[in-house]
Amino acid sequence: MTARADHWAVWLTLLLCVLAFVLGVVFMPGPSDTEAAADTAADLQEAPQQARAEVHQAQALAMLAASGHK
């Protein structure tokens, strides 16, 4: 095939990519504002517990490091 014959394939591929993107945006929107707010609220409720777990982990690692130096 010549380069001229392959030219249509490039445009067809580009058109199909754009079509797939547009259909994805139209038919698969992101979460609604209510869902996003609920997710944020759940994250904020879990934050203190996650922080405590990280502090306990850091303390345990510090104790292990201190006992290793003796």
- Domain layout of the chain by residue ranges: 1-30, 32-70
Whether residue 4 has pLDDT greater than 70: no
Q: What is the pLDDT of residue 32?
A: 86
Mean pLDDT of 27-31: 85
DSSP codes, 35-65: HHHHHHHHHHHHHHHHHHHHHHHHHHHHHHH
Query: How much is the pTM?
Result: 0.45
Mean pLDDT of 13-34: 92
Rounded to whole angstroms, what are the CA distances from 48 to 42, 43, 44, 56?
11, 10, 8, 12
Digit-coded pLDDT (tens) for 41-51: 999 999 999 99
Mean pLDDT of 31-37: 89
